[in-house]
C-alpha cells in the first residue's frame, strides 16, 4: 500500500471557522492591533466605519497580506472589494473560493 500523498493532504481545505480565525489574526498582525485577539473580533462585525474602524490604508495593507499569505488574486473592482472586505466572514468566503478555484 502506498503512503498518502502529502501534497494532496496539504491542499485539504481548512474549515471556514479556522480560516476566519486565521484571517482575524492576520488582520491583528498586519495592522498592529495588539490590544485585540482573534476571538475579540466577531466574524460578522463590519471591518470598516463603525465596526472595527479600518480605513482605506488598512484595506490596502490587508489586501497585500492576504495576497502574500493565501496567494489569492484581488481585483481592483471597488464594488467587489467592498463586498469581500466587509467582514471576516466575507473575507474567509472570498479566500476559500479563490483557493478552491486555484485547486481546480
What are the tens digits of pLDDT across the range 22-73? Answer: 999 999 999 999 999 999 999 999 999 999 999 999 999 999 999 999 988 8
In a domain, 45, yes or no: yes
Residue 54 is part of which domain span? 16-103
CATH number of the domain encompassing residue 72 = 1.10.1200.10
pTM of the model: 0.80
Find the largest Cα–Cα distance for the chain.
57
- pLDDT at position 12 is 39
Q: What was the pLDDT predicted at 9?
A: 40
Domain membership flag for residue 2:
no
Residue 89 inside a domain? The answer is: yes
Q: How many domains does the chain have?
A: 1
Position 102 pLDDT exceeds 90: no
Query: 19: left (phi > 0), else alpha (psi -120 to 50), else beta?
Result: alpha
Query: Does any domain span residue 1?
Result: no
* Distance linking the first and last C-alpha atoms of the chain: 27
Residue 11 lies in a domain: no
10 part of a folded domain:
no
Amino acid at each position: 500500500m502506498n503512503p498518502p500523498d502529502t501534497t494532496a493532504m496539504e491542499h485539504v481545505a481548512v474549515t471556514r471557522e479556522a480560516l476566519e480565525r486565521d484571517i482575524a489574526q492576520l488582520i491583528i498582525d498586519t495592522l498592529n492591533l495588539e490590544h485585540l485577539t482573534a476571538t475579540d473580533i466577531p466574524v460578522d462585525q463590519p471591518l470598516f466605519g463603525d465596526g472595527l474602524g479600518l480605513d482605506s490604508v488598512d484595506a490596502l495593507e490587508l489586501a497585500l497580506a492576504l495576497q502574500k499569505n493565501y496567494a489569492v488574486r484581488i481585483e481592483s473592482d471597488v464594488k467587489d472589494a467592498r463586498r469581500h472586505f466587509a467582514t471576516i466572514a466575507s473575507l474567509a468566503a472570498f479566500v476559500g473560493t479563490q483557493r478552491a478555484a486555484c485547486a481546480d
